[in-house]
Amino acid sequence: MEINEPKKILIINGSPHKEKSTTMMITDAFTRGMLSVGGYEAETVHVSNLKVKPCTGCLSCWGRTEGECVIKTDDMPELKRKLIDADVVIGSFPLYYFGVPGILKVVIDRLLSMVKAYHGQLTPKDNAPAHEFRYPKAGKKYVLISGCAYTETDVVYVPVRKQFDLILGKDNYTALFCPQFKTMADNGGARKERILNKFVKAGEEFAKSGCLSQKTIESATKPPFSSEVYKTILNSVWAGEKLKGG
């Protein structure tokens, strides 16, 4: 009897804080939910542990060495292999100044070899990626999970959404952008456990259906504090930071 191999979940943790990242609390809960369904195995790559040289913009991967980066002496070739093999790719990162952390941007820049060259074509109007994938895999899924300090994720994540709309295609990834999360992780108490359980359930749903309902997304990414309570907490946090001095 043929035994099906488990599908591979690859988690790319873009936080400089590695496993201590508060966003990874959400990602770990989501992944636990997926694994509980069965049929999956997961691996986490902490970008901070990788040796990655920045892209030089030579565009050789689109021309002279098509599909291959000329930089071979760092960890990108192995990461690229894992990305190609994965069935589900989860990008986990905190929001840094309305974008992804710098260490993650360096990795993203080096993934240019994974898409086909630009030949003057217009940006697609059908929500497709700006570039055709060089290594397509049927049924491959992408999830973005990110925590931030802000309340209005529909506003502060616009630059991130635009970037990944172009890279992955607007309808080709699931985004879970979580407001007030660092504060909630530090001050949430029982509320934190309830929220993390929502992400476990979301992971289960994603493993079973390959997507999340809008109801699930809205429930998981609802601000945990009211506006007034959150302002009070933040005032206390920054007052305490000032007392610490330089």
The SS3 of residue 10 is strand
Question: What does the pLDDT look like over 82-138, one tens digit per residue?
Answer: 999 999 999 999 999 999 999 999 999 999 999 999 988 888 888 889 899 998 888
CB 75, CB 51: distance < 8 Å: yes
How much is the mean pLDDT over the chain?
92
What kind and span of H or E run contains 216?
A: helix 214-220
HSE-CB for 27 with a 13 A CA cutoff: 33
Q: Which amino acid is at 142?
A: Y
Q: For the chain, how far is it from start to end, CA to CA, in angstroms?
A: 66
Q: Which residues are CB-contacts of 159 (< 8 A; sequence separation ≥ 6)?
A: 98, 99
> What is the rounded distance in angstroms from the CA atom of residue 202 to the CA atom of residue 221?
11
Question: What does the pLDDT look like over 178-195, one tens digit per residue?
Answer: 999 888 888 767 888 999
HSE-CB for 193 with a 13 A CA cutoff: 2
> What is the rounded distance in angstroms from the CA atom of residue 245 to the CA atom of residue 89?
41
Going by C-alpha positions, the residue among 45, 43, 41, 44 that lies closest to residue 7 is 41
Look at 138-147, 212-221, 231-240 and tell me which has the smallest mean pLDDT.
Answer: 231-240
12: phi then psi, degrees, rounded to nearest 5: -100, 105
Q: Looking at residues 159-183, what average pLDDT do you find?
A: 93
Percent of the chain with pLDDT over 90: 72
> What is the rounded distance in angstroms from the CA atom of residue 24 to the CA atom of residue 11?
10
Question: What does the pLDDT look like over 6-53, one tens digit per residue?
Answer: 999 999 999 999 999 999 999 999 999 999 999 999 999 999 999 999
